[in-house]
Amino acid sequence: MNLDEFVSCSSDFGVYRPGEPVEELAARLNMPVDRILKLNANENLFLPRSILQNVLAEAAAETDPRLYPGGEEAVLAGKLAKLHGASSDQIVLAAGGDQIIDLVMSNLVKQGDTVLAVTPTFSMYPRTAKIKGLTFREVPLDSRFALDGERVLEESQGAGLIVLCNPNNPTSNQLPREEVMKIVDGLEGFVLVDEAYAEYGEYSLIREALKRENLIVLRTFSKAYGLAGLRLGYGVTNSVLARTLAERYMMPFSVPGFVLRVGAKLLDERDTVMEAIEEVKRERGFLVDSLDEMEGVKAFPSDANFVLFATDKPYGEVYDGLLERGVILRKIGAVPGYSDCLRVTVAPREITLRFLEALGEVMT
């Protein structure tokens, strides 16, 4: 393969574009950087930055960057195991949840098999499948964003893997437990349940993953723990599958020792993390109610740290209008039953009020 062939092969993969950088937008609008509202990436704006700075400082003081990671992995895995009622050998640590997705699609799906997911959902699933040379197939959610486990199983012929984001991104709802378990129990292949937002929902399937052969649950430190910039995630499954993936299919030292230390120390701040989660839930309710009260806007119920909403104006027009006011959202577009949707991160009240004011101006 030469360079031209290599580039040509990648033309169908798409490019992940996180949006206009805050600094560039501020310069373009002649606006102070701290006046830009970055509400497009479902980041944690509630966990006190002072707590994170203390944790980072302690971890940095204990880390010798000249050395490869040593016992840090065992410490973090042990704390996660205690948190989830698991054993350390049922935890697979990774450089972000995306590495778990990559690991599963690279090694648990045979060439020629299909990866199946509901739609709309997280864009990294089809992108990763295509990069791996796998067939990707979608089953649409209905207009209530409901999951029909029987229908998914009917469409699962040839599927070596079904991926479910739960709570789902971008629809923000948690899929019914019984429907998810129908899929787990009825599929011969593997099921990956992405619980990146589970701390904001009502339930987790981690306990089920510990005792089943075909279920892997993905978790991340990027959302509830506020470590989006450090890339730390993990998978939870039965010990045989976990150890095989971690010891035979992952590159050594995938997660830096510093990041492992930060994760372990942050688990010791669990009370603070839980307080921030509860605050997200309270502010989420205020945001949904406020959006619903605005003319031309419909907000959808949320079990995550973001809210999906539809507008009666073209979503691109609304997005651009907000951008010119220093507010960055995520463009979603069409979902079942609605053609113009955007996604906004749940934020502290002061930020939410500024967003709502800007949206009101755009919708008028």
Q: What is the pLDDT of residue 12?
A: 79
Non-local (6+) Cβ contacts of 297 within 8 A are: 291, 309, 310, 311, 312, 359, 363
Closest CA to 309 of 264, 277, 343, 284: 343
Q: What is the pLDDT of residue 46?
A: 98
Q: What is the pLDDT of residue 7?
A: 85
* Alpha helices (H) in the chain, listed in sequence order: 3-9, 22-29, 49-62, 72-84, 97-107, 124-131, 149-154, 177-186, 206-211, 239-244, 257-267, 270-293, 315-323, 349-363
Both tokens of 205, joined, read 């399937």
What is the block-wise mean pLDDT of the chain (364 residues), using blocks of 10 residues? 86 80 95 97 97 98 97 98 98 98 96 94 95 95 94 95 99 98 97 99 98 98 98 99 97 97 98 98 99 98 99 98 98 95 99 99 97
Q: For residues 42 and 329, what is the distance between their CA atoms, to the nearest angstrom?
A: 10
3-class secondary-structure state, position 136: strand
Q: What is the pLDDT of residue 19?
A: 80
Please name each of the domains of the chain with its CATH number.
17-46+271-363 (3.90.1150.10), 49-268 (3.40.640.10)
DSSP state for residue 117 in the 8-state scheme: E
Q: What is the pLDDT of residue 246?
A: 97
Q: What is the pLDDT of residue 329?
A: 98
Do residues 166 and 180 touch, judged by C-beta distance below 8 A? yes
pTM score, two decimals?
0.96
Pairing assessment for the beta strands 37-38 and 327-328 based on DSSP bridges: parallel
Q: For residues 186 and 197, what is the distance between their CA atoms, to the nearest angstrom?
A: 25
Non-local (6+) Cβ contacts of 119 within 8 A are: 138, 139, 140, 141
